[in-house]
Amino acid sequence: MAFLLFNFVLLLSGFRFSLALQETPLQNVSHSGQINSNSVLVALLDSHYTELAELVEKALLLQTLEETVGKRNITIFAPKNEALEQDLDPEFKRFLLEPGNLKSLQTLLLYHIVPKRIEPHSWPKSAADSTHHTTLSNDQVELSGQDSSGAKFIGRAKVINPNAVNRPDGVIHGIEQLLIPRSVQQDFNNRRSLRSISAVKPEGAPEVDPRTHRLKKPAPPVLPGAPPVLPIYDAMAPGPSLAPAPAPGPGGPRHHFNGMRQVKDFIQTLVQYGGYNEMADILVNLTSLATEMGRLVSEGYVLTVLAPNDEAMAKLTTDQLSEPGAPEQIIYYHVIPEYQTEESMYNAVRRFGKVSYDTLRLPHKVVAQEADGSVKFGHGEGSAYLFDPDIYIDGRISVQGIDGVLFPPEDQSKEEKKTIKVATVKPRRGK
């Protein structure tokens, strides 16, 4: 057993390593070749087109663009910030920022860049003499003009700031709205059906021996929404445990499943999913917590983890995290001893209005209700939306991404000033 534990820690330290690796590529523009400080790319990152610049970084496109400007001039059509903020459909923006949709985000951004220099004086003067250009996304854009007003257009977007930036290797023209290539629009329209195909369908239900209160045989995955077989608190180390779980002695609990492996899998999935590194970090660092979860799953219990995303975690103050046992208490309040999927929770709140779920932080419950076509946990300021549904669902562990850190109601007055809510984009359920 000690060996198993040791192995587990080794595996986890492997994640720390890959976490660190994952974070490096964006930091430095000049890792391959050289980029001139007077490059149009450097200018873009320093410009007031901050929304576009941020997306280009998020989309991991800097290296590609760096290589392009090494070979030829480029023209960037830069939507004004508002076009990427309040003017943009929040659901579309959320779609673009989902790590699984990186390709769509890249296509969208590359659609705003033409691999040659287009100066304002060479712009078509009217709709009749419009010109077509192939963008870096391989789609065509049309430039046109209006001779009466002298206005310039790309597609339907008006050029509002021609030559906003002019550098030896390229030029930036400010435009009024985002350009959306057809393929990205289609990806967006198809998003729901893709998600439902990739979801794993859990089935079956575990059987308990009424005399021993133990599972009769390895439990098949339970239905979403099914109650746990036994009160999980019977199985939890007292506390909840804040110390490393003791290694079971000879004749200790029989392990039906490799719960450690499942916990490890979900942490890895969180890391790969992106945007949940803080949560993954805490689980990796606090091995006692992950060990306890693994042990419970090994014994046949099921868990739903409400994982706050990085933006939410970033709002936690050092005070909130530095009290002894505080991170554990926070995480335990985010673990529900039931197997729930987004669908089962959404159906429950739709049907019942408010639903309260037990948490591993006894005796506190977390309340959920339907809001804005999604599931909202908690009350008022300290509430969080189900933001990334079904990040991990294997029939025993379910991980649901949320956009806030939750606190029990009693703690809330205390926490109110350190507001935890970060939702800027309200998820909507597309049904």
Ligand X SMILES: *[C@@H]1O[C@H](CO)[C@@H](O)[C@H](O)[C@H]1NC(C)=O
Q: Are 4 and 260 in contact (CB under 8 A)?
A: yes
# residues near ligand X by CB under 6 A: 12
Whole-angstrom distance, CA of residue 306 vs CA of residue 308? 6
379 contact partners, CB below 8 Å, separation of at least 6: 367, 409, 412
Nearer to ligand X, 169 or 403 (CB): 169
**Tokens of residue 376, six digits:** 């909202």
The stretch near ligand X (CB under 6 A) out of 126-134, 155-163, 174-182, 279-287 is 279-287
Q: Are 179 and 165 in contact (CB under 8 A)?
A: no
Nearer to ligand X, 286 or 367 (CB): 286
Contact pick of 51, 169, 299, 403 for ligand X (by CB under 6 A):
169
Query: Which residues, numbered 54-73, are part of the site for ligand X (CB under 6 A)?
Result: 72-73
Mask of contacts with ligand X, 8-47, x by CB under 6 A? Answer: --------------------x-xx----------------
In Å, how far are 97, 190, 195 from 101, measured between CA atoms?
7, 12, 11
In the complex, least distance from residue 116 CB atom to ligand X, rounded to whole angstroms: 9
**Tokens of residue 94, six digits:** 């959320």
Rule CB under 6 A: is residue 285 a binding residue for ligand X?
yes
Q: Are 143 and 152 in contact (CB under 8 A)?
A: yes
In the complex, least distance from residue 45 CB atom to ligand X, rounded to whole angstroms: 12
Whole-angstrom distance, CA of residue 95 vs CA of residue 105? 9
**Tokens of residue 227, six digits:** 């109650």
**Cross-strand pairs, 159:** 175
Contact pick of 48, 58, 93, 117 for ligand X (by CB under 6 A):
117
Contact pick of 51, 187, 281, 342 for ligand X (by CB under 6 A):
281
In the complex, least distance from residue 140 CB atom to ligand X, rounded to whole angstroms: 22
In the complex, least distance from residue 289 CB atom to ligand X, rounded to whole angstroms: 11
In the complex, least distance from residue 77 CB atom to ligand X, rounded to whole angstroms: 17
**Cross-strand pairs, 377:** 368, 384
Nearer to ligand X, 45 or 371 (CB): 45
Nearer to ligand X, 30 or 269 (CB): 30
In the complex, least distance from residue 394 CB atom to ligand X, rounded to whole angstroms: 24
Nearer to ligand X, 190 or 285 (CB): 285
Task: Give the total residue count for the chain.
Answer: 431
Nearer to ligand X, 96 or 280 (CB): 280
Quick one: residue 273, left, alpha or beta (phi over 0 = left, psi -120 to 50 = alpha)?
alpha
Rule CB under 6 A: is residue 315 a binding residue for ligand X?
no
Nearer to ligand X, 28 or 163 (CB): 28
Nearer to ligand X, 170 or 174 (CB): 170
The stretch near ligand X (CB under 6 A) out of 144-152, 223-231, 245-253, 280-288 is 280-288
> Beta strands 113-114 and 208-209: pairing type?
unpaired
Rule CB under 6 A: is residue 186 a binding residue for ligand X?
no
In the complex, least distance from residue 119 CB atom to ligand X, rounded to whole angstroms: 9
In the complex, least distance from residue 117 CB atom to ligand X, rounded to whole angstroms: 5
Rule CB under 6 A: is residue 282 a binding residue for ligand X?
yes
In the complex, least distance from residue 71 CB atom to ligand X, rounded to whole angstroms: 6
Nearer to ligand X, 53 or 349 (CB): 53
Nearer to ligand X, 169 or 388 (CB): 169
In the complex, least distance from residue 215 CB atom to ligand X, rounded to whole angstroms: 34
The residue ranges that bind ligand X (CB under 6 A) are 28, 30-31, 72-73, 117, 168-169, 278, 281-282, 285
